[in-house]
Structure 1
Amino acid sequence: MKHINLTLYSFDELSEESSKKVVENERWNVMGDVMDGYSSDYRNSLNEFESLFHIRCNWEVNYCSYSFSFKLTSFEAFEWQGGYIELATISGKLLQRFLRNYILPHLEKPACYFSKMKGVYPNFRYNKRSSKIKKTVECPFTGHIYDMLLLDPLLKYLASPNDGTTYAELMDKCLRSFFKSWHEEYEYWADDDEAVKEELRNNQYENRLYYSNGDVYTGPLELSA
């Protein structure tokens, strides 16, 4: 019978040289694992945006780059003063009016205010009150911040309109903002060493053990006597 004694280390117990080796070996796995989950949230926001704005988008996004194209779907024209106007080309006050009348009602909700009522800690009670006048747009599609990556360019346009901007150009700005941020999140999870290290300490990596040189231990974690 032979007895083998192994000394294994958690990530934080490794030497600086070995931990750097682990980071280099695992950065692409970390990026892939994290972005598998986040990309689902991005896609959900995009699907809702496409539905509301009557567009269909073809896209590709990854660590290296992003690209997209889009076209209007069933709602290519709308009735205006007895005639029809192509949605893609409207601009100026007509575009602003279209967005305020047809789009914002689907995005806005009454602003909420919270006022502290009487009580003794830890039994404070808070009263929630909704404004009848002020409205806000806060992640209306999915509740994730990715919604606002799509909508921020539109809200900025309405706050400071450019009469030369067309509907199609505004959609391009919204989608470019969205896919650029999606691409940059891929970059973050692969390029930022501190982000990789934090992930290696948590989630599916937190119970992983290593040899002193940084190689991953793949044997059983519990050995019978």
Structure 2
Amino acid sequence: MGISHRTIETKVYHFEQLSDEAKEKARDWWRQCEAEDPAWVAERRQSLEAFCKEFPIEVKGWEYDAYSYRIDRVWTAGPESQELKGSRLVGFLLNEYGPRVLWEPKVYEKGDKKRKSKIIMVETSCPFTGYCMDDDLLEPIRQYLKKPDLDLCYRDLMGQCLDAWGQSCVDDVADSMKDEQVDDAIISNEYEFDEAGGHI
């Protein structure tokens, strides 16, 4: 006796066509998927790794979610540089990282031609990887150079940079879980659902 087959037809809905209750179920599905495989993890990691190649700090491990973060860090330079502060730290940062990491020559464009200024420098934008987390990591240094805290040592400034990265990760994840962001993600990816909001 052969095996019989039967076909079950299910009406397919786009997110905008769902009831409010079904939309909530669809959002819950998307949030669970995002929690298991969050977006932008690789880019965040690449920014952090590139920062650590430039500065004397190594990250042994990290984790974050929509509420908190943890970063295990190790200082990789000698103890004397850890305690640099005040004018010595300002001078060190300017000489070591100013023209390479923090600033770049201003570019003038005229038609198809580009020319770099030999005098005027502008802040770099995402100099490590091109991802916005580069700037989050550098922001504490930029703020320090604008208004130096004479009691802040190099080691603690590096800690502030990593904390800025961690907090940005938390903020990104929290924002991605808001209804408006979830709805945009579902709609732009054209996911389909059954009438109750179950993903098909």
User: Taking structure 2 as the reference length, what is the TM-score of the superposition?
Assistant: 0.86
How much has 1:3 moved relative to structure 2? 6.9
- Could you tell me which residue of structure 2 aligns to residue 147 of structure 1? 134
Aligned residues: 193
Alpha-carbon offset, residue 19 of structure 1: 1.3
Tell me, in whole angstroms, the C-alpha distance in 2 between the residues paired with 1:93 and 1:113. 33
**Aligned equivalents of 1:171, 1:72: Cα separation in 2:** 9
Which residue is equivalent to 2:104?
109
| Cα root mean square deviation, aligned | 2.1
Determine if contact 1:31/1:189 at 8 Å carries over to the other structure.
no
Deviations 1:91-149 (A, max 9, x none): 0111011111112232132112334xxxxxxxxx4543322112222211111111000
Write out per-residue CA displacement over residues 129-186 of structure 1, whole angstroms, 9 at most, x where no aligned residue: 3221122222111111110000011011111112111001111111111110111211
The two structures have a TM-score, normalised by structure 1, of: 0.77
Q: 2:90 maps to which residue?
A: 96
Identify which of 1, 12, 18 aligns with 1:14.
18
Q: CA deviation at 1:5?
A: 4.7
Distance (Å, rounded) in 1 between the aligned partners of 2:8 and 2:69: 50
Helix, strand or coil at the partner of 2:28: helix
- Residues 1:131 and 2:117 aligned together: yes
Offset of 1:34 from its aligned partner?
A: 4.1
Q: Which residue of 2 aligns with 1:28?
A: 32
Show structure 1 runs of 5+ residues with no match. 78-85, 116-124, 218-225
Q: Report the identity percentage.
A: 30
**1:48-86, CA deviations, whole angstroms, 9 ceiling, x for partnerless residues?**
11111121123222234201232221x326xxxxxxxx1
Amino acid of the structure 2 residue aligned with 1:92: G
In structure 2, the partner of 1:63 is 66
* Residue 163 to residue 4, structure 1, CA distance change in 2 (3 Å): closer
Contact 2:26 2:193 in 1 (8 A): no
Give the Cα–Cα distance (whole angstroms) in 2 for the partners of residues 52 and 173 of structure 1. Answer: 16
Contact persistence 2:29–2:199 (CA under 8 A):
no
> Does 1:215 pair with 2:175?
no
Aligned-pair CA distance for 1:7:
2.3
> Could you say which structure has the larger radius of gyration?
1
